[in-house]
A and B are shown apart, each in its own frame.
Chain A
């Protein structure tokens, strides 16, 4: 079988399996002996969340060479925007008088709440308006979740545009430092502005499907599973298409040599900003969805540890390929949970809750040093070559690469790396002589 077809079949099979997994969940009674508890479903949702983050970060860092450490900040922007809209915005059929009222079409008003804390209870101006100024029978409507998530995306994209534009001049190290700065300032502000963001206590978000969906209750794991899976698949499809298109070609050209790319007519500004906008929108989408699913978001999601988790996932999986990055994220999410089991070897008692992260850090360093393309990459490579000797491939692949990129837009995993691949092989062919 030719490798491209093999990847397609494998990809399709993976999608089908992911779509069918909820059938085995305990909510639906399980599939024979296989019963997945709510917790496994929760882990799966979290795994998709990290997969979206890791793969979009790999598009940004691995393909475009923009090593941003602010990815979690965009994630938080998505989550917080959506949460703040749910906290402060209402629609009513009459002006509240006590809050900030903005007239909309017809008899609808957009009300921005003014919330103050009385003892342990939050009191909003709308609660007072209900008893004082609002006429009886006034409808008060919460902003729909999908709309606030969409606003989260818009904010993610806006900040992506802003940051992408600001960092145009900055290369590698400077970019990394700038994005760390951005992320830290955001974290400190969220922690300090307690009246707005609730600070460290965390901003509560309404459930993803407040009224439930298709007979599932609002706490069921199945609708969020499909929502996150859908976002994951859409994100992957979009990134696959992008990576295989001229866009993908250009951003990789920018990564390899910015001046040369510019000289060849690539619009550096446009593509650098664009890749920021796209990846931060994806991160914001993941953040908003996850926020509504978990029900709470805190500034701790922005700490450097969380960012390093995403980076490590992408690197261990394979930084220069969105597929390996996302598979890495899924595998590592589950592994970090499973590794919590303590080990006792003779008198030696190892508290894995602590040590798992030590091993994880070591694995990250060793991967970088000895298996630059990630631990999953060799497997891909092996399959895609179908056992043909490397030298032969290099000769075959080199003349093909341009055609492959152009003719096949929805390209399988081998696509994005075809260039790097061929180069690497060529190097070896040379050094072997």
Chain B
């Protein structure tokens, strides 16, 4: 390499570096990733708060943080849906005139689905961006790690989609959750199976559970196994690494167990891969009653990946669409307009609510001091898209006093859980039949594989 070329290269490298540092350094202090309006040409950017030049201190924006997995190995599909819903929340708040007359700045950060990354970004939200509350959150492992940082800094987090029981059972003042508890979801699952057996005459002696070895899958499988035991139903659990593609070997083993029902507690493409490969091998949802994972409610992706997935039972968090309240209906309308999806995912709805909850708590507290916000959250009664949200088990009504399990601490007590079933091939998730619980039922379950 001759000298002139070397020099040119070093000059290019230096210039690039300088440019990057110069261009990014000042922005990085405030902006983060909140440029929602970029995709929406019509709406004004909510982050560029409607702050007119005239005001300064009083109009300083209220900063709210949000967690979402936006790049791999996180669940990017989920993260993007949550981001969209949370941006809607922020825009709505700003259209309404902000919080306490101050504009809202929503700072969404990427957790990548990694606990270590989660602690880092929560740290960043609190210490660099100076947020007063944090919403969102998808992966349980991230939630488990993030709660420690929130506690160290005394800033509240309202988790929207982290099911792991531990997150609330440690009883931190700062941690609230509007997602269901993993153990409660298992309870509904098992009650549904018992209902199939007792009320619908289905043969149910043995269940196979397929789980991913994460802290969503493992505790969920343990809970389900314990509950099935109590119900007198035998079960076998197969756990897989999350990156698994080829399930052929496992499916042969599942087949050899001749299960009466299969429960899938794996998320993402693992769930799709397993269900379709099981169908190829002749024990799919059309051969053996199968509870597919809730990712199956993303119907486009579901039918692309699992063309033989008809008759899947899917648990659905939140009320069925026909029972949506006004807030939820308005949200769905806006969400559909932006994403082209017909319905909103439960976690997207919950993340919308998590931002709105923090906003209302700030209004109620009349202060942006995190400890005041925590007080306000404990006493909140917020009409959200999920319904009226309260946190009845709190510092003035501890689990000991209330005589309940500590997992109910700061936990939204009734996220509705229904079981729906795909009853036609290619059906949209919104048109699925609600089969359980009976009060929401829109049709009878189709039970496959009965002689």
Contact = CB atoms under 8 A, between A and B. Distances in A.
Contact of B27 (A42, A298, A305, A341): A341
B119 A375 contact: no
Interface in A1-55: 26, 37-40, 42, 46
Contacts of A341: 24, 27-28, 31, 33
Interface stretch (A124-132, A228-236, A376-384, A406-414): A376-384
Given A295-B119, A339-B24, A353-B71, A378 B13 contact: yes
Contacts of B426: none
A298 B116 contact: yes
B327 interface: no
B25 to A, nearest CB: 7
Given A199-B213, A338-B24, A341-B27, A331 B141 contact: no
B417 interface: no
Interface string B161-199: 000111001000000000000010000000000000000
Contact of A353 (B33, B165, B213): B33
Interface string A403-433: 0000000000000000000001000100000
Interface in B1-51: 1-3, 6-7, 9-10, 13-14, 17, 20-21, 24-25, 27-28, 31-33, 35, 38-39
Interface in A335-358: 335, 337-342, 344, 349, 353-354, 357
B341 interface: no
Nearest to A199: B213
Interface in B121-145: 123-124, 126-128, 140-141, 144-145
Contact of B38 (A40, A331, A344): A344
Interface stretch (B214-222, B310-318, B375-383, B393-401): B214-222
Contacts of A308: none
B128 A37 contact: yes
Contacts of A188: 241
A329 to B, nearest CB: 14
Interface string B91-121: 0000000000000000000100011100110
Decide if the interface of chain A is mainly helix, strand, loop or mixed: helix
A39 B144 CA distance: 20
A382 to B, nearest CB: 7
Interface string B305-349: 000000000000000000000000000000000000000000000
A300 interface: yes
B112 to A, nearest CB: 9
A370 interface: yes
A338 B218 contact: no
A39 B73 contact: no
Contacts of B28: 337-338, 340-341
Contacts of B148: 295
A390 interface: yes
A179 interface: no
Residue of A121, A354, A378, A424 with most partner-chain B CB within 10 A: A378
Contacts of A42: 120, 123-124
A349 B38 CA distance: 7
Given A338-B24, A353-B33, A378-B6, A199 B128 contact: no
Contacts of B14: 379
Identify whether the interface residues of B are mostly helix, strand, loop, or mixed: helix
Given A199-B218, A296-B119, A378 B10 contact: yes
A37 B213 CA distance: 36
Given A38-B128, A303-B73, A298 B141 contact: yes
Interface string A65-105: 00000000000000000000000000000000000000000
Contacts of B407: 120
B236 interface: no
Contacts of A121: 169
A371 interface: yes
B424 to A, nearest CB: 36
Nearest to B73: A300
Nearest to B127: A38
B110 A340 contact: yes
A163 interface: no
B239 to A, nearest CB: 8
Contacts of A354: 71
A339 B116 contact: no
B145 A296 contact: yes
B159 to A, nearest CB: 15
Contacts of B152: 219
A200 B116 contact: no
A191 interface: yes
B233 interface: no
Nearest to B130: A37
Contacts of B215: 199-201
B242 interface: yes
B435 interface: no
B120 A202 contact: no
B89 interface: no
Nearest to B212: A200
B70 interface: yes
A340 B121 CA distance: 12
A183 to B, nearest CB: 14
Contacts of A298: 114-116, 141
B70 A376 contact: no
A424 B3 CA distance: 12
A337 B128 CA distance: 13
Nearest to A45: B120
A168 interface: no
Interface string B216-260: 001100100000000000000000011000000000000000000
B164 to A, nearest CB: 8
B9 A339 contact: no
A221 to B, nearest CB: 9
A301 B213 CA distance: 16
Contacts of A382: 6-7, 10
Given A194-B213, A199-B214, A344-B35, 16 more contacts: A26-B127, A38-B124, A38-B127, A119-B165, A120-B165, A219-B152, A294-B120, A296-B116, A301-B116, A303-B73, A338-B20, A340-B33, A370-B9, A375-B10, A379-B13, A428-B2
25 contacts: A39-B127, A46-B120, A119-B165, A121-B169, A192-B213, A199-B213, A200-B214, A200-B242, A201-B140, A201-B144, A202-B144, A202-B145, A300-B114, A338-B20, A338-B28, A340-B28, A340-B33, A341-B33, A349-B39, A354-B71, A378-B9, A378-B10, A381-B6, A390-B3, A428-B2
